[in-house]
Amino acid sequence: MTSTYLPEERSRAPRASPITAPAPGRGRRRVLNWLTAIAFQLPALALFGLLVLLPILFAVYASLFRWGGFGMPSDYTGTDNFTRLFQDPVFLGDLWRCALLVVLSLALQLPFALAMAVLLNQRLRGRPVYRMLFFAPYVLSEVVTGVLFSMIFAPDDGLADHVLGTVGLDALGGKWFADPSTVMATLFLVMTWKYFGFHMMLYLAGLQAIPAELTEAAIVDGAGPWQRFRGVTLPLLAPTLRISAFLSVIGSIQLFDLVWVITAGGPDHHSETMAISMFQYGFKRYQVGYAGAISVAMFGISLVFALVYQRFVLRRDLAGATTTMRGGGA
């Protein structure tokens, strides 16, 4: 009897799973995948190195020489250009004007763009037309904008003086860009007209991403318009506001073409920016080593601001994005 059931019991007994050896060629296929990915990235990396990294490194190298831009740098001066940089009243004025533009942009331009975005997020007749009109200045090139406002604010016969004279406000007219006391205010007005539409569209995109159920729940709880904006809209719009502020500050640091077309830094350096000083020294006065020091200073200011802003301001947004990506992939 035992011998009869032994084969059946053996067949029902659990069998040890055999150790599967790695499929032949799997390691080779993984190496080929890595090589393929690297091969596809090589053209982009080569262009990035040639057009971004190499100019940055050469600017740092040239800033250590007294060099006119012809031949290879040979008159090594060490950090003399940087010492001169922070003793130059023109460059120190550039830093002051950059800080002024940053403060004005954060305090006036971005709140104005946010107010227009909130207004155009309501149900208004002709809302797409208003959005298009407000965004249209951003589409224009800086050169076209500069030429246009140079004619509008031309002394005596410009459109601005003509309009003010028509309504009896001749005393408010003036030289606009030619007067040191008004040139920065007029430039900021032009900058606001040019760039506020871009920030407005960013805020509109952020506002439309806010779920309507949250606003409806706040209305049910009895919250007024200001309470809904402060307690619901503003916190949910905060990531967009932070990105907009970052772009505004970086743009103010690197501002060049609009100011160059309108004033070229005048009158008497009163509208000059760091980028214009770099251009003037590098291409007008042939002091390329000193211009390289200015470019390195601009790069350093932008890099430090970006790292500090990312560390202390964007950290929560980046952590949320990383968590979302990890959660989606799990």
DSSP string, 101-126: HHHHIIIIIHHHHHHHHHHHTS--TT
- Structure confidence at residue 322 (pLDDT): 44
Give the C-alpha distances (Å, rounded to integers) separating 5 from 12, 14, 119, 184.
11, 16, 87, 102
The H or E element containing residue 97 is helix 89-104
Distance CA 234, CA 207 (A): 9
Amino acid identity for residue 211 in this structure? P
List the domain boundaries for the chain: 80-318
Structure tokens at 302: 């932008």
Helices (H), the chain: 2-12, 26-48, 54-62, 80-85, 89-104, 110-120, 127-139, 142-152, 159-166, 183-208, 212-220, 225-228, 234-253, 257-262, 274-279, 288-312, 315-329
Distance CA 156, CA 167 (A): 15
- Structure confidence at residue 280 (pLDDT): 94
Taking a C-beta distance cutoff of 8 angstroms, is the pair 183, 270 a contact? yes
- Structure confidence at residue 25 (pLDDT): 67
Strand-pair partners of 65: 76
Helix, coil or strand: residue 82 = helix
- Structure confidence at residue 318 (pLDDT): 65
Distance CA 106, CA 70 (A): 42
pTM to 2 decimal places: 0.82
- Structure confidence at residue 324 (pLDDT): 47
Distance CA 176, CA 155 (A): 7
If the chain, 330 residues long, is cut into consecutive pieces of 10 residues, what is the mean pLDDT of each piece? 49 54 70 90 94 93 93 91 93 95 95 94 88 93 94 84 77 79 93 95 93 88 89 92 94 94 91 94 93 95 94 76 44
- CATH homologous superfamily of 80-318: MetI-like (1.10.3720.10)
The phi and psi torsions of 152 (rounded to 5 degrees) equal -65, -40
Taking a C-beta distance cutoff of 8 angstroms, is the pair 271, 259 a contact? yes
Distance CA 256, CA 142 (A): 9
How many CA atoms, within 13 angstroms, populate the side-chain half-sphere of residue 255? 34
Nearest to 295 by CA among 77, 37, 64: 64
Distance CA 92, CA 116 (A): 35
